[in-house]
Structure 1
Amino acid sequence: MLIRAKVTLYVPRGNFQIVVEHMEPAGQGALKAQFDALKAQLQAEGLFAQERKRALPAWPTQIGVITSPSGAAIRDILQVLKRRCPSIPVVIYPAAVQGADAPAQLRQALDVAIARDECDVLIIGRGGGSLEDLWAFNDEALTRAVAACPIPIVSAVGHEVDTGLTDFAADLRAPTPSAAAELVSPDLSVVTQRLGGLHRRLRWVMAQQLRTPQERLRHLSQRLRSPRQSLEQSSQRLDELQGRLQRHMQQRLALAQSRLRPNQQRLARLSPERLLADRQQRLQTLEKRLPQPLLRLIQQQQVQLGNLGKRLHTASPLETLGRGYSITFKGDEAVRSVSQLQAGDTLTTRLADGEVSARVERVQGSDKGSAPE
């Protein structure tokens, strides 16, 4: 502390007295007051607001480190990154981290990292030290540059108890440089283990999802028959039906034949030829039994009957027509006299080989007749 006071002497006892008139912090006390004042100012401007913070990338393709290339901090960071994820490349942007030139060099290194835009995340920091040693990370311009950095940035200044203004302005504060390296890098062993777990779970889920279709496919495969098997079964079924049909037709045919046989026998017995043969045989038998005189009588009567038939045929009107004569009919009545006729009548004349229709124009009797015209 810096004190302004007056020194007095108490004569009766011989004592010196110091009367303090003014007192102010000295050394770290003055720096602490300056730190608190700047922190309050920047916080009032919203530079440390939580909504301005951005999330770090889960798997960065490249990591940038702004620190001294010869300090203990870079060795700790590289060691942690090599252990956790050696496949991620690291870019070092060198800068002094202590002394009067440190704030300017740190700002310049940050500007280079932003201009190159080759890293997904940045680490800015240094190892432990006194408040005076870490004072470069309380620089107002550097703090504002960290807050405005477009790349997600992690501030790791000193040990866990040390805090710089860049810690409040950065997207994330790490208690140590080693912790910053762990925050920005994925643990490959943990990732591998998690990937293994996810792989096992994925296989289990896929097996569960495929089990039902596989069971259904197996069931359908058991039900599905090959075309050859279906054809063989259909052919076998067809042969069976053909056999049944043939046996049925044979049974029906045998039944019809059994029913037809008695009818055939009855029909044979009632056949006209057979009846005629029987009658002729009976007639011959009866003829043999007739006495000879009766037979001669029958023969004489048959001759006489033939002569009468000839005479009757000679006197038949049809025979007369055959000799050139004709018969004239008026309606159904044969015309025998002109007295039966008058003009306009329709007559039918029958000849031996047909009929002729005629119309009466006039009627004239013979000289002996008396019929008028």
Structure 2
Amino acid sequence: MQTIPPSQNAKRSVLSVSDLNREVKHLLESSVPLLWISGEISNFSVPSSGHWYFSLKDARAQVRCAMFRGRNRSVAFRPQNGREVLIRARVSLYEGRGEFQLIVEHMEEAGFGALMRQLEQLKAKLNAEGLFDASKKRPLPFLPTNIGIVTSPTGAAIRDMIHVLGRRHPSATIELWPVAVQGQGAAEQIAAAIEKAGRSGRHDLLIVGRGGGSLEDLWSFNEEIVARALAASPIPTISAVGHETDTTIADLAADLRAPTPSAAAEIASANAAEILQRLEQAQRRLQRAIDNQLKHLSQQVQLRRNRLRHPREQLLNQTQRLDHLEMRLTAASQQQIHKRKTQLTSAVRAFSHSQPARRLDESQKKLIQLQANLQRAMQLILQRSGDTLAHRAQMLQNISPLAVLQRGYAIVLDSDKRAVRDSADLRTDQQVQVRLARGSFSATVDAVSD
């Protein structure tokens, strides 16, 4: 083999290392456009210059990255090792060490972090527009007779709400507006259903929601189109999305947030037992008032009975008549109470079938009128009984022996306190007691005549 001397070789182009790195850098930057790349941050460092240096890696490879201070000031979060990020970068080469690297121009959180940042940005925007103002929240109807529900027809949420409403508010009409609650186009379906339900004019209340899930599963209820549809709804709305710990933009835009779909159904329904309980409380107050009146009347009768001082036979007769009047009065009162209770029970039963708030108002007014009528009837009975009692007392007073004494007569009593009716019962020198209308005195019989 023959060796060719160097002087005989063709002229060679020799590059320095610096030239080589510069050429490669120029080649990379001019031939590769801006790229979007996702990965996990590692080896993150911030020198005094304020620039960020880190590696972006996945399961099989990694690449060095640099983000200069002028660019990293716009990043809304602080990068940390292990955090998944999405970057927009250009390919380059660090000439000093000949290292391949990425020059990062934009960085954002990937996955959950990005969604949370997007959520907070939309929340701040809508809040600034006044979409969540408490002054715009409308009160819910007390007893809605037609309830619309916007949710999935196959989820557990609709079954739970139907069960609760059927138990607590069986007379209410429930209308389902079926929609997809997650996935592509779900937010548009939800917003369209809210608008159609509002235009239908059939509902007193609208419930919008779904069962629990991840942030991605609930994301349809964080969309701006759904929030604006809820805010523009002409009927009051309840948002019931996920579990108690989940809070979506729909919860903030609706008139009321319920922690769960079942809780939304409980809020929307007025338990008939609660209304019946209030009616029963009114009935108990009426019964106590009647009992107090009867007790007062009994006390008055007893007081008047104690004041009477009449012959025993007449007193027993009048006492018997008073007892009879008292029993009649008690029976009449019990009959009135039973009649009103029967009417009240019938009204409650009819109300449980009809339920509208208008019927409730009419029943309450009727109850007040019945109470007033019963009060007037009781007062009339008491007045008539008092008049009868006063008349009987006056009659007894008129036939009383004391009334006879007032006309100038006297009663002569022997030593045994028995009234002397015949002079033959007296003897000379006998001591007797003479009772006048006012006071009495003792006397001695001087003589006895027929």
1:159 aligns with 2:325: no
Letter in 2 for 1:167: D
**Deviation (angstroms), 1:36:** 0.9
Which whole-Å deviations, capped at 9, do the CAs of 1:25-73 have from their partners, x for residues lacking one?
Answer: 1122222212111111111111101111122122222221111111111
The residue number in structure 1 matching 2:136 is: 52
1:71 aligns with 2:237: no
**Deviation (angstroms), 1:85:** 2.4
Which structure has more relative contact order (CA 8 Å, sep 6+)? It is 1
Distance 1:185 1:210, change over 3 A: farther
More displaced, 71-80 or 108-117? 108-117
The residue number in structure 1 matching 2:265 is: 181
Following the alignment from structure 2 to structure 1, what is the Cα–Cα distance between the partners of residues 118 and 248? Answer: 12
Following the alignment from structure 1 to structure 2, what is the Cα–Cα distance between the partners of residues 36 and 57? Answer: 32
1:89 aligns with 2:255: no
Letter in 2 for 1:178: S
**Deviation (angstroms), 1:225:** 3.9
The residue number in structure 2 matching 1:148 is: 232
Counterpart of 2:256 (choices 135, 149, 172) is: 172
The residue number in structure 1 matching 2:223 is: 139
Match runs of 1:233-312 below 5 Å? none
Aligned length: 240
The residue number in structure 2 matching 1:192 is: 276
Following the alignment from structure 2 to structure 1, what is the Cα–Cα distance between the partners of residues 121 and 248? Answer: 13
Distance 1:155 1:204, change over 3 A: same
Counterpart of 2:286 (choices 199, 202, 211) is: 202
Structure 2 unaligned regions, length at least 5: 1-84, 301-381, 400-450
The residue number in structure 2 matching 1:222 is: 388
Following the alignment from structure 1 to structure 2, what is the Cα–Cα distance between the partners of residues 108 and 19? Answer: 44
Distance 1:185 1:26, change over 3 A: same
The residue number in structure 1 matching 2:200 is: 116
1:106 aligns with 2:190: yes
Which whole-Å deviations, capped at 9, do the CAs of 1:321-359 have from their partners, x for residues lacking one?
Answer: xxxxxxxxxxxxxxxxxxxxxxxxxxxxxxxxxxxxxxx
The residue number in structure 2 matching 1:295 is: none
Following the alignment from structure 2 to structure 1, what is the Cα–Cα distance between the partners of residues 218 and 137? Answer: 23
Distance 1:32 1:86, change over 3 A: same
* Partner SS for 2:110: coil
TM-score by length of 2: 0.45
Following the alignment from structure 2 to structure 1, what is the Cα–Cα distance between the partners of residues 221 and 196? Answer: 18
Following the alignment from structure 2 to structure 1, what is the Cα–Cα distance between the partners of residues 204 and 192? Answer: 19
Distance 1:3 1:108, change over 3 A: closer
**Deviation (angstroms), 1:90:** 1.2
**Deviation (angstroms), 1:116:** 2.2
Following the alignment from structure 1 to structure 2, what is the Cα–Cα distance between the partners of residues 178 and 70? Answer: 16
The residue number in structure 2 matching 1:356 is: none
Following the alignment from structure 1 to structure 2, what is the Cα–Cα distance between the partners of residues 133 and 91? Answer: 24
1:37 aligns with 2:203: no
Following the alignment from structure 2 to structure 1, what is the Cα–Cα distance between the partners of residues 212 and 248? Answer: 11
**Deviation (angstroms), 1:106:** 1.5
TM-score by length of 1: 0.54
Distance 1:181 1:209, change over 3 A: farther
The residue number in structure 2 matching 1:312 is: none
Following the alignment from structure 2 to structure 1, what is the Cα–Cα distance between the partners of residues 195 and 146? Answer: 17
The residue number in structure 2 matching 1:246 is: none
Distance 1:136 1:213, change over 3 A: farther
Distance 1:192 1:102, change over 3 A: same
The residue number in structure 1 matching 2:307 is: none
* Partner SS for 1:124: strand
Following the alignment from structure 1 to structure 2, what is the Cα–Cα distance between the partners of residues 212 and 147? Answer: 60
Following the alignment from structure 2 to structure 1, what is the Cα–Cα distance between the partners of residues 292 and 92? Answer: 92
Following the alignment from structure 1 to structure 2, what is the Cα–Cα distance between the partners of residues 190 and 35? Answer: 40
Following the alignment from structure 1 to structure 2, what is the Cα–Cα distance between the partners of residues 176 and 151? Answer: 20
Distance 1:189 1:16, change over 3 A: farther
**Deviation (angstroms), 1:81:** 1.3
More displaced, 211-220 or 96-105? 211-220
* Partner SS for 1:104: helix
* Partner SS for 1:119: coil
**RMSD, matched Cα:** 3.8
The residue number in structure 1 matching 2:355 is: none
* Partner SS for 1:70: coil
* Partner SS for 1:65: strand
Structure 1 unaligned regions, length at least 5: 235-373
**Deviation (angstroms), 1:155:** 0.3
Letter in 1 for 2:386: L
**Deviation (angstroms), 1:189:** 3.4
Distance 1:3 1:201, change over 3 A: same
Following the alignment from structure 1 to structure 2, what is the Cα–Cα distance between the partners of residues 43 and 88? Answer: 34
Distance 1:208 1:43, change over 3 A: farther
**Deviation (angstroms), 1:92:** 1.2
Distance 1:139 1:190, change over 3 A: same
Following the alignment from structure 2 to structure 1, what is the Cα–Cα distance between the partners of residues 155 and 132? Answer: 28
The residue number in structure 2 matching 1:251 is: none
Distance 1:198 1:41, change over 3 A: same
Following the alignment from structure 2 to structure 1, what is the Cα–Cα distance between the partners of residues 155 and 230? Answer: 21
* Partner SS for 1:57: coil
Letter in 2 for 1:143: A
Following the alignment from structure 2 to structure 1, what is the Cα–Cα distance between the partners of residues 264 and 389? Answer: 64
* Partner SS for 2:107: strand
Letter in 1 for 2:144: P
